[in-house]
Structures are given as C-alpha cells and as structure tokens.
Structure 1
Amino acid sequence: MDHLVRDVLTGLMTKYPILVTGGTGKSGGRVVSLLRAQGAPVRVASRSGEPQFDWLDRATWDFALEGVKAVYLVPLDGHLLTRPFVERAVELGVERVVLLSGRGVDVPGYSGEANIAGATHVDGESAVRDSGIAWTILRPAWFAQNFSEGIFRDAILADELRLPAGDGAASFVDAEDIAAVAVAALTEDGHCGQIYELSGPRALTIAEAVAEISKATGRDIRYVPLSPAEFVAELTGQGWSAAEAEDYAEAMNPIRRGLDSHISDGIQRALRRRPRDFTDYVRASAGAWREHRAAPPATEVIR
C-alpha cells in the first residue's frame, strides 16, 4: 500500500507542469535541468519566459500558475510577496510547494535588523506553513556558487576578494545539492512538512575558500578582510547605493560573527548521501574563473 500511495503522489507531481520561480537562477536553473532530465513537465517563471512572470506584476501570476500542482518557490528578497502568491496558488489548485528560505530564519538577530532578506524569509515560511497544502522548506547556507557565478566572481577574477567577513567560517553548500533536494521534495513522497537545513560537509573561512580556488587555478588570489564601514565606503565609491552596500555588508554579518560555521544534516536526511565538498565544487567550476563577465546585481548575493 505504501508503494501504491508513493506512486500515485509521484505521478500527480509529474503529470502536471511544475512551476519553478527563479528558474534562471543558481538553484532554480538547476532544478529545471534536473526535472527535465527526469521527464517532468516544467514551467520556468521569469520576466522573459512564456508565459511571462514578474513578481511585481500580480497580473502575471495566474498565467504562471495555471494547471500547476507543485511549485519551487524562490522569493523576491526585500518584498513580502510570498504570502499572497502562495494564497493565490492554493486558490488555483496548487497542492505542493517547496520554498527556498534562508539559514538562521529561526535564530533571533541572525541576519541583523538591516538585512532585507530576513523579513522575506520569516514571512515566507509562515505563509507556506499556514497554506493548508503540502510544503517543504529549504534553508541553505551560503551558496558555493557565489564564487563562480555570483557576486564574488569578479573579485576572484581580479585576484583580490575584499569582504567584511573577518576570519569567520561558512559551511558553503553546492547549488547542485540544493537542487537535488528540491527536486526530491517536488516529485517524491516523504518530504512534506520537513525543514531541511542544507550545508556542505565542512566549514571554511573566506581565506581558505580563496586558497582552494588559487590552488585549482594556479593563480595568486588574496582575501582582504575589511570592517563593515570600510566595505560600505568602497562599494558606494564604486557607484552602489548606500542601501545596497549596507545590505551586502549586513549579509556578511553571520559569517563574521561565527554563526555560519555549523554543519547541517538536511542533505543527508533528504538524499541519504553526503553533501558535495567545496574542493569538488572548485575542481568542477575551475573554468568559470577563466572568462570575465560582469557581476550580478546586489539582490543576487545569496541565490
């Protein structure tokens, strides 16, 4: 009977299109690829997609949600839109949501009062738990891909990463693992009502992470620790707005305070295997540090 129930649920989630918001981002893009590799129908939600989806234009929500039974939900940081979106999704027949949240949501003061993502995640988690449908919450540590695809990349290419992280460590998680957990939660039974804390298998300081990239690429890359005030001053001098610069500095606060070094068991629980190590990620991503491209906007610090 258990096998029958599992087969019915899995079939339900793969018969109808699965909506992936943030479908061109670090985790969402990988979720899309894994779902398609399994033969699951996928609808990619983006402003350039078909149908078009724009978080700030609620008129686009219904088209994205039409006929959908499961959603991978990457919220829009700095906006409390997860709750109304989930409420509308339930009204239109969605039966399962997998939410990408953030580490430390349940730790008072973790993200700092100024960090815009904190309120987004707190309200978003509350929204899915109150939704009345099946839900799974993912709380990842800092993405390893920030070094190769995200906001650290241009600094790595310039051989000097300047951050207000002190000598704190982070258990960087590979976005491939995040996507694998998300796909399991979207398509399999056994993950509903679970909160998965996701991390890599060990913690590294920024200096240690940069040293691994240096070793893999044969380049001399330095980490330069700055105070938050020095960091904000440098960014505003480069043309960042004060609000964006301060939010970026605040996002580094948990690493600097030693709050991001712990190892989480979510990947082991969800996938029954160890998470990918940072060294393996660096070896697989070495080509990313050989070709220059512009850094993403400030809103892509973590995702």
Structure 2
Amino acid sequence: MSRPSVLVTAATGKTGRRVADRLAALGHPVIRASRSSAQPLRWEDPASWSPALDGVDSVYLCYHPDLAAPEAPALVEKFTAAARDAGVRKLVLLSGRGETNAQRCEAIVADSGLTYGIVRASWFNQNFTEGSLLGPVLTGTIAMPAGGVAEPFVDLDDVADVAVALLTDDRLTGRAYDVTGPRLLTFAQAAAEIADAAGRAVTYLPVTAEQFHLGLVAEVGPDYARLLTDLCTEVFDGRNAALGDGVERALGRPPRDFADFCRQAAAVGAWQQ
C-alpha cells in the first residue's frame, strides 16, 4: 500500500525545502507547492489551493511572507477550511514565537477539527547564511533594532526535523512545540561567534526601528520593509528571551548549538565573498 501524500507549502523556501527533502528521503509521496513550482500555490489566489490539496492526507503549512502579515489569519482560516473540505486529515503549522498574528493562526488550526501540530520558532541560524542577514554578515555590520535583547536562535535542520516528526507520527500531534537552540544569544554575541568561525570582522550595530526601516526600503520595498520592522518592534521586547524544549520533546535529542552551526557554515564557505 502506498503512503499518503503530504503537501508542503512554500516548498522552495528555507523550511519547506528541508521538510520536503526529508519526507521524500523517508519514502513519503510529497507534493511541493510554491508560487513557481509545478504545483503552484499562491496565497492571494484561492483558486490555486484546491488542485494542490487534491488527494492530500497531511499539509505542512508555511505562510509566506510571515504570519505577522495583517492578512495572514484570514487566509489561514480560509485555507484550513479548504483543506478540511478536501479531506485533509492533518495540518502542521510553522508559527512565529511571540507573534500576535501567529497566535491567532495557531488557534485557527487548533480549532479546525483536524489533527494538528504547531512548530513555534523565532530567529533561524540560517538567516545568517541564506536569509536576509547574509548580506550584512558579508559587509561586516549586522544592523538590527534588537538592542541587547537575547534570542534563542534555532537551527533550521532542527525545525525541519520536528516538522517531519509531527507530520509522520500522530503520537506527537495536538500540541505546540517551542523549538529553540540550547542558548540565548544577543545579536552582538551571535556576530562575535560568526566572526570567530569565519575569520572575518563582523559586528552588531544596534539601530532604531525607523533607521532599520529606512535601510530596508530600497532593498525589499516599502510594504515588506514595514512588515519586517513592525515584526521586530513587536518581538524584540524580551518576550522570546527564554529557551523552549520542543526539539527535545519531539526528537528526544538536544538542539544544535549556534557555535556548531557557525563552524559548519564557515567550513562550506557560506561567508566567503
């Protein structure tokens, strides 16, 4: 008997790609959906949802650009209803730790009547290698409106492993998993560890929210710049300055340390210009 299909949304993104690859390696039929994939799924186009959901048993739900976006709860609610109507049995949501809109989306999924799991994360280690912070690392200055707040940076491989565990093991569902690294780090400390591993000068520059916003506009446009700025303003108040045990609870092992991530990233040339 063939295994049931799993729909992975945002399948070309940082988490979606890892989740889809792991599921495929385990022998699960995977439908990789994104804006540009063979199976397109566009959040602003509900007509694209039904073909992607056809015949699917489980869904990894990763909303792009972020659950902090104002429209996210309404779209997640509509998508969850569409998934239920299509016969989907399970939803696993990637949620944002400490984000008000993300909490609304968590409640929608939990109240959907479907089997569910929630992977709740904050800042990814890989933002420094394949995300918005790679450029600043290469230029030597990470400018963020985080002050001296500490964050529980989490490795994307841990996030993906937990998501796959929730998708494939019903014993783990029906709850949220706060996934973090094993240490709290300020951005200044993270920059110092990157600099040490990469053998290059990297420093952290604390900036105001408005300075951060102005610096982003030319790079990502005013709308996304405002979304990122508002998100930083919301979460950089210390609310996430605590460790979670989601990796240990889901996988039975400790999370990957930031220093190990830095050493591996440097070894493969992630920070070579």
- TM normalised by structure 2 equals 0.91
Q: How many residues align?
A: 265
Residue number in structure 1 paired with 2:265: 285
Aligned equivalent of 1:49: 37
**Shift of residue 17 of structure 1?**
1.3
Question: Could you list the per-position Cα deviations for residues 246-293 of structure 1 after superposition, in whole angstroms to 9, with x for gaps in the alignment?
Answer: 3322322356422222100111111111000001111122222114xx
Q: 2:15 matched to 1:27? A: yes
Find the aligned partners of 1:65 and 1:167 in 2 and give their Cα distance: 44
What is the 5 A alignment of 1:191-270? Answer: 191-236=172-217, 238=218, 241-253=221-233, 256-270=236-250
1:1-31 Cα shifts (integer Å, max 9, x gaps): xxxxxxxxxx8xx712100001111111110
* Secondary structure of residue in 1 paired with 2:244: coil
Q: Which residue of 2 aligns with 1:298?
A: none
Distance across 1 between alignment mates of 2:236 and 2:109: 31
Match status 1:75 vs 2:63: yes
Offset of residue 230 of structure 1: 2.4
1:239 deviates by 5.8
Runs of 4+ in 1 over 6 A off after TM superposition: none
* Aligned counterpart, 2:47: 59
> Structure 2 CA distance, aligned partners of 1:136 and 1:67?
20
- Percent of pairs with identical residues: 42
The match for 2:112 is 131
> For residue 81 of structure 2, what is the aligned residue in structure 1?
87
Offset at 1:142? 1.1
SS in 2 for 1:290: coil
Partner of 2:137: 156
Give 1:242 deviation, angstroms: 4.3
Q: Which runs of 5+ in 1 are unaligned?
A: 1-10, 105-110, 112-117, 292-303
**TM-score for both structures, normalised by structure 1:** 0.83
In the alignment, which residue of structure 2 is the partner of 1:187? 168
Please state if 1:275 is matched with 2:255. yes
Q: Report the aligned-residue RMSD.
A: 1.7
Q: Relative to 1, partners in 2 of residues 1:61 and 1:246: Cα closer, same or farther, differing over 3 Å?
A: closer
Distance change (3 Å), C-alpha of 1:28 and 1:239: closer
> Which segments of 5 or more consecutive residues in structure 2 lack a partner in the other structure?
none
Q: Which deviates more from structure 2 when the two are superposed, residues 132-141 or residues 252-261?
A: 252-261
Q: Deviations over 1:148-172 (max 9, x none)?
A: 1111110111111111111111010
Residues 189 and 244 (structure 1), Cα distance of their counterparts in 2 relative to 1, 3 Å cut: closer
> Over residues 204-259 of structure 1, what are the superposed CA-to-partner deviations in whole Å (9 max), with x where a residue is unaligned?
110110111111111011111112222223334x3654443333223223564222
CA distance in 1, matches of 2:148, 2:76: 34
